[in-house]
Amino acid sequence: MCTTCGCDDAAGPRFTAFGHGAGRGHGHDHDHAEPAPLTVVLEERVLARNDLLAAENRRLLAERDVVAVNLMSSPGSGKTTLLERTVRELATHRSVAVVEGDQETLLDAERIRATGCSVVQINTGEGCHLDAAMLRRGLDELDVAAGSLVFVENVGNLVCPALFDLGESCRVVVMSVTEGADKPAKYPHMFRTADLVLVNKLDLLPYVDFDPDLCTERIHRINPTAQVLLVSATTGEGLAPWYTWLREVEIDD
């Protein structure tokens, strides 16, 4: 059981690799915290162990000059559509790979595979987030080339993924205009950890009650250093600055 949020992942995560480098990993393991009387003690143990694994991931990625982008959002933000378009745009200039996180199905991995990109699907069962150990196994399956850009599409959830450092180079939160401008205020920890916030589905702005300026103001109240970009993964509007940001992001070593 995930002691920080109560999700039951007793079956363990399942890995399905697509593309070159697939099959280089070997099985999986999932360590469970030992029983203890206080939830806070369990949480500290789980997060402390995760942070150690994340630090190792970060070191290995830096050694290979690999940039890992942790994409987080609620379900339905358009994250996979954004990723499909981004992969197609950037893959001609740089090696790109994707780690897909979902509770069930291979649907998103199949969509990414159709772009020609190497991808591994991590199904978490009832688990509601990826952790550092899962990312490491996913990277092993992909056998990521030096100098690559790796996108990690985390499980759709605006709470638990924010708690778990994966060893990523940067964090990007994707939200959409259909979700409402109040999301940063309701889920502050997620937005507090973001390096960049992409406000997606800009093409739907005329049809919904959404105030971009208010949303940006709320993000900056929580996280003054976060960049905010308004984009449409459907039409391509606003994506040029997103691609520029990705090209300029530095490895956190």
* Angle subtended at Cα 80 by Cα 222 and Cα 74, rounded to the nearest 5 degrees: 40
Q: What is the model's pLDDT at position 41?
A: 60
pTM score of the predicted model: 0.85
Q: Tell me the CATH number at 214.
A: 3.40.50.300
State whether residue 142 is helix, strand or coil.
helix
212 Cβ contact partners less than 8 Å away, ≥ 6 residues apart: 177, 181, 199, 205, 230
Backbone angles phi, psi at 56, to 5 degrees: -70, -40
Residue 7 lies in a domain: no
Q: Could you give the percent of the chain with pLDDT greater than 70?
A: 84
pLDDT score recorded for residue 7: 59
- Here the tokens at position 156 are 């759709």
Q: Is residue 4 in a domain?
A: no
Q: What is the mean pLDDT of the chain?
A: 88
What is residue 238's DSSP assignment? T
Instruction: Note whether residue 3 is domain-resident.
Output: no
Give me the domain span that covers residue 101. Answer: 15-25+34-248
| Domain count along the chain | 1
- 44 pLDDT more than 60: yes
In a domain, 2, yes or no: no
pLDDT tens, 19-39? 655 545 444 444 444 444 444
Higher pLDDT, 85 or 251: 85
Range 170-188 average pLDDT = 97
